[in-house]
Amino acid sequence: MNKQKIMLGAIGIAVFSALGASPSLSRDYPFCRKGEAGPGDCRYDTYEQCLAAVSGTASYCQQNFWLQPSSRDIPPRRAPRN
């Protein structure tokens, strides 16, 4: 095989695998377990779930500050008074 066929095959495989990739089913959770360096373990729906996970460890729970607030959490702006 010559180099052109090998290169064309490699490009074809790369394009095919990129097109076949699906987005991950990740989800943003509101609570994180912290205790070590890094972003923490943010996979808890409730504060109670997080507390159960850190029970008996040196970790603690906090809100997920990386989670973007949804539009329903932001109060509507009021028109300025004249």
Give the residues of the chain that fall short of pLDDT 50: 19, 21-25, 71-72
Instruction: Note the pLDDT of residue 40.
Output: 83
Residue found by looking up tokens 């906090």 in the block:
62
Long-range contacts at 66-73 (CB < 8 A, ≥ 24 apart): 66/28, 66/39, 66/42, 67/28, 67/29, 67/30, 67/42, 68/28
pTM: 0.50
Give the integer Cα–Cα distance in Å for 32 and 60. 8
